[in-house]
Amino acid sequence: MEDKRTLGQILVSMGRISEQDVARALQHQRDNGGYFGEALLACELVTEDELEFGLASQFDLPYVFPEADAIDPEAAAIVSPEWALAHLTLPIMMTDETLTVVVESPLKTRAVEELRARTDRKVALALASASNIRELIRQVYARAAAVDEERRAPIDLTALLDEALEVESIRFGISVRGIRSSAWWDDRGTIRRRPLGGDWHNELERTLVPGLVRKTAGKLRAEWDAEMNRAGIVTALTVQYLADESGSELLFKLRPVAAALTERFSPPSPGVLSEVRLLARSGTARFIVTTDPEPLGHEILPHLPTLLLDPSWRSIYLNAEDHAPAGEAFSVMLPRDPEKWAEELETLRAFHFDVVTVDLSGGGPLWAQQTLDVASVAFLLWRGQDDARPAYDAGIRWRLHITATEGGGLEWSLDPLHA
Contact criterion met (CB below 8 Å) for 378 and 356: yes
Q: Final residue of a domain: which of 254, 282, 308?
A: 254
End of a domain among 200, 229, 254?
Answer: 254
Identify the burial level of 149 via C-beta atoms within 10 angstroms of its C-beta, where 0-12 means exposed, 13-18 middle and 19 or more buried.
middle
Same domain, 303 and 396: yes
190 assigned to some structural domain: yes
Q: Count structural domains, the chain.
A: 4
Is residue 219, in this structure, part of any structural domain at all? yes
Residue 396 and residue 350 share a domain: yes
Residue 62 contacts residue 124 (beta carbons within 8 Å): no
52 backbone φψ class: left, alpha, beta (φ>0; ψ -120 to 50)? alpha
Let me know whether 267 and 240 are in one domain. no
Domain co-membership, 238 together with 98:
no
β-pair type (89-94, 98-103): antiparallel
Q: Mark whether 121 and 161 lie in a shared domain.
A: no
Residue 2 included in any domain = no
- Contact criterion met (CB below 8 Å) for 249 and 175: yes
Mean pLDDT of 102-111: 78
Sequence letter at residue 46: V
SS3 311: coil
CA distances from 83 to 286, 367, 374 (A): 14, 26, 23
- Asked if residue 225 and residue 122 are part of one domain, the reply reads no
289 and 356 in a single domain? The answer is yes
Say if residues 140 and 90 touch (Cβ distance below 8 Å).
Answer: yes
In a domain, 329, yes or no: yes
pLDDT reported for residue 145: 57
Q: Which domain holds residue 108?
A: 68-147
Instruction: Looking at the structure, tell me whether residues 85 and 164 fall in a common domain.
Output: no
Residue 85 in any domain: the answer is yes
Q: Are residues 241 and 265 in the same domain?
A: no
Cα 115–121–124 angle (5° rounding)? Answer: 75
Residues 267 and 245 in one domain: no
Per-residue pLDDT reduced to its tens digit, 179-227: 888 888 877 666 778 888 888 889 889 888 898 889 998 888 899 998 8
pTM here? 0.57
Of 152-161, 169-178, 251-260, highest mean pLDDT = 169-178
On whether residue 152 sits in a domain, the answer given is no
Helix axes 200-207 and 157-166, enclosed angle (nearest 10): 60
